[in-house]
Structure 1
Amino acid sequence: MTHYTPFVLLGPGDSIAEELQFYGWNRRTLAAELGLSYGEAVHLLHNRLPVTRALATRLGNAFGQSPKFWLNLDAQYRARLATRSTAEEGTNKQPQAQRAGLTVAQGKRSAALGNGNTGPIRPEGPVHRI
Structure 2
Amino acid sequence: MLARWVTGLDAAQQTAIGDLTARQQWAATVLASDPNPSSKTLRAPAGVVKDVLENWGQGRPTYDPAKIQAPTLIVVGEWDHETTPEQGCEVFARLEAAADRRFLLIGRATHSMLLERQAPVLRAAVEAFLSE
Fold-level match, TM-score > 0.5? no
TM-score, with length taken from structure 1 = 0.20
With CA pairs under 8 Å and 6+ residues apart, which has the higher RCO, 1 or 2?
Answer: 2
Max radius of gyration: which structure?
A: 1
Higher strand proportion: 2
TM-score, with length taken from structure 2 = 0.20
Higher helix proportion: 1
